[in-house]
Chain A
Amino acid sequence: MYDFISANLPYLLAGISVGGQYAMIAIGYTMVYGILRLINFAHGDVFTAAAYAMVYMNATMPLYLSLPLTILFTVILGYSVERIAYKPLRSAPRMSIMISSIGASYLLQNLMWYITSGLARQYPTIPWISKTVTIFTATTKMVTLVTPVLTLVLVLLLVQLINHTKIGMAMRAVSKDFETSRLMGIKINKVISVTFMIGSFLAAIGSMLYFTNYTAVVPTAGAMPGLKAFVAAVFGGIGSIPGAVIGAFIIGIVENIIKAVGLTTFSDAFTFALLIFILIFKPTGLFGEVIHEKV
């Protein structure tokens, strides 16, 4: 028994931490989808961009500056992506907005590739969270323990924000009915911008945790986590924040179990298998609600 635990604890830890990091991204997806009914393919790349921002800023300035600046940068990036790539297409069919988001992701990736000429950059070590600790048999980085806690804290804050503030109420209204809430005089664009900002903010935090664990940053580093996070969002019921978080943790953990079993080739494929499974048997996900189409 002891052996079993000591053998598998590392997998579990890795799963939980990566799950938490997925959660951070997933929230961004799920909120945007809730409001715009749009899969923001560029979100994963915003996540990567945050990492690069950190790399470059940390090279020139002390940590207590580079951390907040990175977050600020990411938030601005997320905001401008929305402004440039999505706002002009408000009235366009959903398909072309989605295409635009793919294009945006393509652009961001190529841009990052150009700036770094595709070479891996070493992520700076953020002091406290990257020191190693030992939980009885398993040795790991502090971030592994910090991630889940931080995730939950942030989610709780977010839920508070959504349920008890004016802007939060506006968000809920918009996600319920776009047109009506516009007629009700809610400033749609403001709400959407805020949503993207929150999403990017969490992505920035997520990237700090993620890359503290997995220190090499490449232009495509965010693509896979991004997709998985989206799957998590769908799994938990798109539009529902707790759903996204739970989905993310499940995916993170199971993914590592798959690796533990030795089916390493399928560790990514599994995520999508899960997605398709859920889409077929419960298209609304764990916590999603059904939308009727008027005929």
Chain B
Amino acid sequence: MKKCLALILTVVMLLPVMALAENYAGEIVIGIYEPASGTSGAGGKQEALGIYYANYLAPTVELSDGVYKVKLVEVDNQSSPDKAPSAAQQLVSEGVSIVLGSYGSGVCIAAADIFDAAGLVAIGISCTNPQVTLGNPLYYRICYLDPFQGTVLANYAKDEFNATKAYTLAELGNDYDVGLAYYFAEAFKGLGGEVKGEEFPKGNSDFTAYLTSAVNSGAEIIFAPTSVEYATQIITQAAANGITIPIMAGDTWDNVRILEAAEGTDLSISVSTFFDEGDTGALAAEFVTGFKAWLNENPEKLANNGGSDIVAAVSALGYDGYMVALEALKRADSGDRDDIADVVAEVTYEGVTGFIAFDENGDAIRDQAFIIKTDNETGTWQFVKVQNVSDIAK
């Protein structure tokens, strides 16, 4: 007993030392705050891949006092807001200069205050919920927001399927789902449609009941902006129950698993996203080819991308996120959190997903979304159209 107590005490004594030990000379550390596991694990991994690819292309950053090596530190927020704080804390204590991430909005919101307290700038990559940047001065983001995405999709539903009744399905307590569903509903009502909304509890696997009530509600469109894990189930069960109503979703569904699930079914699935693989712009094309090559040379990376080399939009965003971070470092001309905080708002960057600049909230000023749909024969994405803000009465 005494011995074990003594041991514990000594360990406790040593802790502060260990805590202080971390420091990187000649290096600048960028934190990757992504889910590597859990419901948004798949997406998180793809986003991280984009960042790693960018780091592979630009492994250093040149400041006035010499070239610094950029080191990436990744923590897994396990896609759950209750695990997020300690993950965020870890990044903070690792002494990172700036944070990238995350995929999924809930974890960002959960971590925002912790980053803020540490004076640490975070650049959200594909977290589209307004609350991420709202009232969090140090949280920026390079993707568009749900109100915009919601509006885009609502309009698309109206124009493409001339739907007047919609059914929205979201995961209970998932800020991304609930938020996007909400804004979609608002916009759709605005366009004179009516909406029936339902939420399913975390970990639910039986969607037949929901799909049935969707049918019973006479909806002409099902909007289910869920995370991929649930998406695949919704698709398979919809197929099994012979649902023919077109299904729509947000950026999360731009994922290989969706294609796999949809392949061979006769469902119509359309998704809004940030980036289209078939984009013919010079930057985009270059990125796509380079990224594919980079993926294919390493099976592990390929596996993390969902086993295929189809370029997910979040990877492209991840790439841009890293580049924006570098821009911020250059502009601040130091790895000091405060210096970065001062300048990041002014950063602009011509990324593969379009031109990036921040507005007063720290949100990217974006004006276009890509809409793509599944091709169930070939199991690939099919580009439909680019939806611009200007096209739709906001």
Q: Which residues of A contact B (CB under 8 A)?
A: 7, 10-11, 13-14, 18, 113, 117-120, 122, 130, 132, 134, 138-141, 213-216, 218, 220-221, 223-224, 256, 259-260, 262, 264-265, 267-268
Contact = CB atoms under 8 A, between A and B. Distances in A.
Given A14-B206, A119-B37, A221-B203, A132 B242 contact: yes
A215 B233 contact: yes
A218 B41 CA distance: 12
A122 B232 contact: yes
A14 B209 CA distance: 7
Interface string B33-46: 00011110110000
A54 to B, nearest CB: 15
B289 interface: no
Contacts of A265: 172, 199, 201
A13 B201 CA distance: 21
A214 to B, nearest CB: 4
Contact of A120 (B78, B228, B240): B228
Given A213-B237, A218-B229, 16 more contacts: A13-B208, A118-B37, A122-B232, A213-B206, A214-B237, A216-B205, A216-B232, A218-B39, A220-B203, A221-B203, A224-B203, A259-B210, A259-B213, A264-B210, A265-B199, A267-B204
B198 to A, nearest CB: 5
Contact of A214 (B198, B206, B257): B206
B261 A122 contact: yes
Interface string B201-236: 101111111101100100000000000111011001
A268 B172 CA distance: 13
A221 B233 CA distance: 13
Chain B, interface size category, equals 35 or more
A256 to B, nearest CB: 5
A118 B40 CA distance: 10
B200 interface: yes
B229 A262 contact: no
Nearest to B306: A119
A265 B209 CA distance: 13
Interface string B180-210: 0000000000000000001111011111111
A262 B210 CA distance: 9
A140 B241 contact: yes
B260 interface: yes
A260 B211 CA distance: 10
Given A119-B37, A259-B209, A268 B201 contact: yes
Contact of A117 (B36, B203, B230, B236): B36
Contacts of B36: 117
A134 B242 contact: yes
B38 A260 contact: no
A133 B239 CA distance: 12
Contacts of A267: 201, 204
A122 B199 CA distance: 23
A117 B209 contact: no
Interface of B: 36-39, 41-42, 78, 172, 198-201, 203-210, 212-213, 216, 228-230, 232-233, 236-237, 239-242, 257, 260-261
Nearest to A258: B209
A265 B208 CA distance: 15
B209 A260 contact: yes
| Interface-centre pick from B199, B204, B236, B237 (highest chain A CB count, 10 A) | B236
B241 A215 contact: no
Contacts, number: 99
A216 B203 contact: no
A229 to B, nearest CB: 14
B79 to A, nearest CB: 8
A216 B227 CA distance: 12
Contacts of B213: 259-260, 262
B233 A214 contact: yes
B233 A216 contact: yes
Contacts of B200: 264
Given A215-B233, A216-B229, A216-B230, A118 B38 contact: yes
B305 to A, nearest CB: 12
A113 B323 CA distance: 33
B209 A120 contact: no
Contact of A10 (B37, B41, B208): B208
Given A14-B209, A113-B37, A139-B240, A215 B203 contact: no
Contact of B199 (A113, A132, A264): A264
A272 B233 CA distance: 25
A141 B172 CA distance: 27
A264 B241 contact: no
Contacts of B39: 120, 218
Given A122-B261, A265-B199, A221 B242 contact: no
A177 B172 CA distance: 46
A259 B240 CA distance: 19
Contacts of B237: 213-215
A134 B200 CA distance: 26
Contacts of B201: 264-265, 267-268
Contacts of B198: 262, 264
B203 A18 contact: no
| Interface-centre pick from A117, A138, A262 (highest chain B CB count, 10 A) | A117
A215 B236 contact: yes
Given A117-B36, A132-B240, A264-B201, A10 B212 contact: yes
Contacts of B207: 214
User: 7 tightest A-B contacts by CB?
Assistant: A139-B242, A118-B37, A214-B205, A259-B209, A120-B229, A10-B212, A14-B208
B212 to A, nearest CB: 4
B37 A117 contact: yes
A58 B361 CA distance: 50
A117 B303 CA distance: 12
A138 B41 CA distance: 35
Nearest to A259: B209
| Interface-centre pick from B206, B216, B257 (highest chain A CB count, 10 A) | B206
Contacts of B228: 120
Given A132-B240, A216-B205, A259-B213, A119 B232 contact: no
Nearest to A220: B203
Contacts of A264: 198-201, 209-210
